Amino acid sequence: MRFPYGLCDFNKIITKGYFYCDRTDRIAVLENTGDYLLLLRPRRFGKSLLLSMLENYYDIARKDRFQELFGHLLIGKNPTPSHNQYFILKWDFSCVDPSGSAADIKRAFHNHINACIESFVMYYEDYLTREVKVDSSDAVNSIKSLLSVTRKSGHLVYLLIDEYDNFANEVMMGVRREKKDIYEALVYGGGPLQTLFKAVKSATDGSGFDRSFITGVSPVVMSDITSGYNMAKNIYLDSAFNDLCGFHEKEIKKALNAVSAECGLKKKDVAEAIDFMRVYYNGYKFALDVAESIYNPTLAIYFIEAFLKTCKYPREMLDSNLAADEAKLQSISQIPNGGQLLLDLMKRDDFPVITKLAARFGIKEMLTDKSKDFVFMTSFLYYFGVLTIDEETEKGELILRVPNLVTRGLYVERIQQMLLPEPVDRDDGVFAAKQLYAKGDMKPLCEFVEQRFFKVFRNRDYRWANEFTVKTAFLTLLYNDILYIIDSEKNASRGYADLTMMIRPDMRRFKILDILVEFKYTGLKEAGLSGEKASQLSTEDLRAIPAMQAKRKEAKKQTEKYGDALEKKYDNLRLKRYAIVSLGFERLWWQEVKR
């Protein structure tokens, strides 16, 4: 079996025998849903392959190849009457260079559209009876000429637009405020984008663009050009299309079984790999009322292809092509209350709850800090795939959550950089963390948190002060998905362990330790102390505080309970158990809990 990492050419994937998850049965559903559709999904989630599939299905020039391409797929058994009935015009706005002045970008847009029209003319030359006039200075005129010629042929055009919002994402993620004026010049007041979409809209009168399918990441540009193209039907929250892009677990299992056969692995190895991938890559829901979450397809193929090549898991679980998603978190962290939101999202028991997703917000809202309320920020993170839909509350509100450990790792990295902006501090923290999981020495890590992190927490205006705050500090330092499956609030023995670091199955050859940590927090007021006095206490004085003694006892008891549950669940653990109690943001008491 061959795996199509980075491939979005449906023709090549089918004819060359690549792994393909069949979604062709949705073609009939899409046709019945509407003629002009908009699908939003995060980056690298299979949108371009979806468009390529539609292109091959509807293209009149591929009529003789229908059985070759679709005969063995679901749609091949019951094709719709529209198959191979259209001219296909395809634009990919990710090919448009967003750099330079507004005039430069305008020229790039026109050049791209004209180039696509020229390719169209060459491809369909046997079907066209008249010449298409390409206007090098105005691609809208080229479109009008193209449609006048296609009308004479008796065939309609299906318009496919990929990455329609690519430039807007450049502006948002930069956040390149110097580009705000450039963006507005492109979108507002008769700018080329708005003019282009007006031209597309005017050509949907039954004699030009009979259908269109547009993909993108967010609704930003569509909000800004509403008057130009207010006819697109949004299907990204439709439960019927939740898995239009992405993989089901049964499809992951099929691929892993193929890898197992080539690598000579056992059934338990496949089951272990599925468990591993589920934790890191599964968890996406783009609509309510869906029974099963889906896997990120790019990450899944990245893992499986590496697994096939070496018969081992990839060393790094995050594909570098998706590491750019961290920029979304950076953008959020730099706006008012954004940092607090990211910290809150690390809490398993406090997922964000909103009445509804913000479906319409333009670049003016994106670049105006005062408009970035909680609903806006959480919706923004949903569209970019760093939050996903979980379920509804009893009051009908939406609960969002972090989908998986790969995404959680992005949060951890962003929070670490947010709280410890100096690289030397982060390096020192990582060194202290190594002393724990390599040698079982907790002291350097606790001293680092006391001396560096607590100073940050005292000086920042975060709204909470509790054991979760302390746990966040340790998590940002200890997070290492190369060696560990790291979880916060891991279910263990009908409870939730605060922080577990289970050595990855493929990394047990190294001399490192499994780690379990339970955290408790004692407020200064509860202890009857000021911050200054607490900072001067000796270790013995710290232990003697009654409030600390009660929390120490509770932490030790839970550490024993959860540790025993983990030892029972997993074989051959090298588990070290620790109880940590914080006194305000001043001092830490810690103990290794032995059994």
Separation CA 389–CA 403 (nearest Å):
8
Judge whether 331 lies within some domain. no
What's the Cα-to-Cα distance from 104 to each of 76, 91, 172, rounded to whole Å? Answer: 45, 18, 19
Same domain, 227 and 286: no
From residue 588, alpha-carbon distances to 94, 444, 461 in Å are 51, 12, 21
* Domain finish residue from 297, 315, 333: 315
- What total of structural domains would you count in the chain? 3
pLDDT digits (tens, 9 = 90+) for 378-398: 888 898 888 999 989 999 999
Residues 237 and 259 in one domain: no
**Percentage of residues in the chain with pLDDT exceeding 90?**
57
Regarding whether 186 and 59 lie in a shared domain, the answer is yes
Element (H, E) at 520: strand 514-522
Q: How far apart are the C-alpha atoms of 348 and 499, rounded to whole Å? A: 12
pLDDT of 322 higher than 70: no
For residue 286, tell me if it sits in a domain: yes
Note whether 85 and 107 are same-domain residues. Answer: yes
CA atoms within 13 A on the CB side of 17: 2
Portion of the chain with pLDDT greater than 70, in percent:
90
Instruction: Please tell me whether residues 219 and 78 are part of one structural domain.
Output: yes
Same domain, 173 and 260: no
How far apart (Å, rounded) are the C-alpha atoms in residues 62 and 161? 20
For residue 114, the model assigns a pLDDT of 96
Residue 535's nearest CA partner among 416, 450, 417 is: 450
Q: How many CA atoms lie within 13 A of 74 on its CB side?
A: 11
Cβ count near 426 (within 10 Å): 18
Domain boundary among 267, 290, 315: 315
- Dihedral (Cα; 168, 169, 175, 180), 10-degree rounding: 0
Residue 301: what pLDDT?
95
The answer to whether residue 491 scores a pLDDT higher than 90 is no
* CA neighbor of 22 nearest in space, from 59, 53, 61, 56: 53
* Average pLDDT of every residue of the chain: 87
Residues of the domain holding 119: 10-241
pLDDT one-digit tens code per residue, 41-91: 998 899 999 999 999 999 999 999 999 999 999 999 999 999 999 999 999
Q: Give the residue from 271, 291, 315 where a domain finishes.
A: 315
Kindly report the pTM of this predicted structure.
0.89
Residue 419 pLDDT class (50, 70, 90 cuts): confident
pLDDT for residue 359: 74
Using the predicted structure, report yes or no on whether residue 348 has a pLDDT greater than 70: no
CA proximity to 299, closest of 288, 310, 311, 313: 313
In a domain, 396, yes or no: no
Q: 229 and 290 in one domain?
A: no
For residue 560, being part of any structural domain is answered with yes
Same domain, 235 and 267: no
Kindly state whether residues 434 and 288 are assigned to the same domain.
Answer: no
Same domain, 586 and 531: yes
Output the CA torsion sign for 403, 407, 409, 413. negative
Statement to judge: residues 195 and 289 lie in one domain: no
Residue 287 and residue 182 share a domain: no
pLDDT tens for each residue of 430-467: 999 999 999 999 999 999 999 988 888 776 655 566 77
Segment 118-158, tens digit of pLDDT: 999 999 999 998 999 999 999 999 999 999 999 988 899 99
pLDDT band at 176 (very low <50, low <70, confident <90, very high): very low
Question: How do residues 526-561 score in pLDDT, each as one tens digit?
Answer: 999 998 899 899 989 998 999 999 999 999 999 999
